[in-house]
Amino acid sequence: MSIVITPAMLKRIAPTASPAIIEHLAPALTARFPERPFDVTTENRAAHFLCHAAHETDGFRTLVEYGDTAYFRRYDGRKDLGNETPGDGPRYRGRGIFQLTGRFNYRIFGNRIRVDLEGNPARAAEPDISVQTALHYWNDRRLNPLADRDDIVATTKKINGGRNGLADRKAKLIRAKAALQGRPAAQAIHEIRQESAKATTASKRAITGTAAAGGTGLGTGTAAPKPAAGFDYGLAAVIVITVAAMGFLGVRAWMKSRDAKAFAADAALGSGE
């Protein structure tokens, strides 16, 4: 199956996208997706790739990592990145869809696509080259099978190393699927708002659970009798378990509240049409 990507589709995924970037990214994606060994030839594979691409490029607004020269100097001397010459940090800053970083990666990926990125690092931010390096990165991490399972958590962990920006990636995945399937953008926004509502409800439940845990055996004055003498191991166990439960629920409440805000912020961007 051949996947055709248009600038209009990319704008639906990321309504604040740079017109100059998506104008050149779209044909590059269409041309490179079916190439071997990438084989991004199904809606799920394309949708997952595009949602992560949109997130990592700040909504297709940049193909160069944000920051000034002073900021990137902290990467000078990073042997794990191959940065052994003064100035390598700024010179080999993150570029491309998935932020190719470090002299070593510029050399390796440049050799794979037959472009001297080590000698011409700025070229890593060219749309077609960005697509090629990103697809090699995607293939190296065997992300197609995870996309086939529609596992956004697993693909996020493979790309990010954790769950950073998961709600935003989920929102963009919803948009990408709708765009690829030709469904109305309004339908995608409705789904994103539903996700925001679900996260808000989960946050409130966690807050209620935290309050309930705090009132169990602590502060009620009735749940656990005071020991006549010595150390009450039973009471200590209750305290430890209660505090742990409150901590877990408190963190969950915060995370779900954060997710709700991320979904709401994405929905507020509009349809992109």
pLDDT for 2 equals 86
**Is 119 inside any structural domain?**
yes
**Is 70 inside any structural domain?**
yes
Task: Indicate the helix (H) or strand (E) that contains 156.
Answer: helix 152-160
**Distance, CA of 69 to chain centre:** 25
**Is 272 inside any structural domain?**
no
- CATH code of the domain in which 78 resides: 1.10.530.10
Are 28 and 151 in a shared domain?
A: yes
Residue 163 has pLDDT above 50, yes or no: yes
pLDDT for 151 equals 98
Out of 183, 200, 233, pick the residue that ends a domain: 183
**Is 2 inside any structural domain?**
no
Give the pLDDT confidence of 181-215 residue by residue, as tens digits: 999 999 999 999 999 999 999 888 877 765 555 55
Summary mean pLDDT of the chain: 90
Out of 134, 159, 183, pick the residue that ends a domain: 183
Are 137 and 254 in a shared domain?
A: no
Are 173 and 259 in a shared domain?
A: no
- Residue 193's domain comprises 187-267
pLDDT for 222 equals 47
Contact 113, 133 (CB under 8 A): yes
DSSP state of 184: -
pLDDT for 221 equals 47
pLDDT for 21 equals 98
Question: Could you tell me the two tokens for 196?
Answer: 């925001």
Give the pLDDT confidence of 23-55 residue by residue, as tens digits: 999 999 999 999 999 999 999 999 999 999 999
**Is 39 inside any structural domain?**
yes
Residue 242 has pLDDT above 90, yes or no: no
Are 152 and 258 in a shared domain?
A: no
Residue 245 has pLDDT above 90, yes or no: no
- The CA distance from 162 to 239, in Å, is 31
Are 32 and 160 in a shared domain?
A: yes
Residue 96 has pLDDT above 60, yes or no: yes
Place of tokens 């084989």: 39
Are 41 and 141 in a shared domain?
A: yes
Are 117 and 197 in a shared domain?
A: no
pLDDT for 243 equals 66
Out of 183, 214, 235, pick the residue that ends a domain: 183
Average pLDDT over every residue of 63-92: 94
Residue 217 has pLDDT above 90, yes or no: no
Task: Name residue 127's amino acid.
Answer: P
Q: How many domains does the chain have?
A: 2
Q: Which residues does 56 contact at the CB level (< 8 Å), separation at least 6?
A: 97, 98, 99, 159
The reported pTM is 0.85
Helix axes 166-181, 185-214, angle to 10 degrees: 150
Are 200 and 171 in a shared domain?
A: no
**Is 227 inside any structural domain?**
yes
Are 158 and 137 in a shared domain?
A: yes
Are 97 and 197 in a shared domain?
A: no
**Is 273 inside any structural domain?**
no
- The CA distance from 141 to 159, in Å, is 8
Are 59 and 157 in a shared domain?
A: yes
**Is 120 inside any structural domain?**
yes
Are 123 and 241 in a shared domain?
A: no
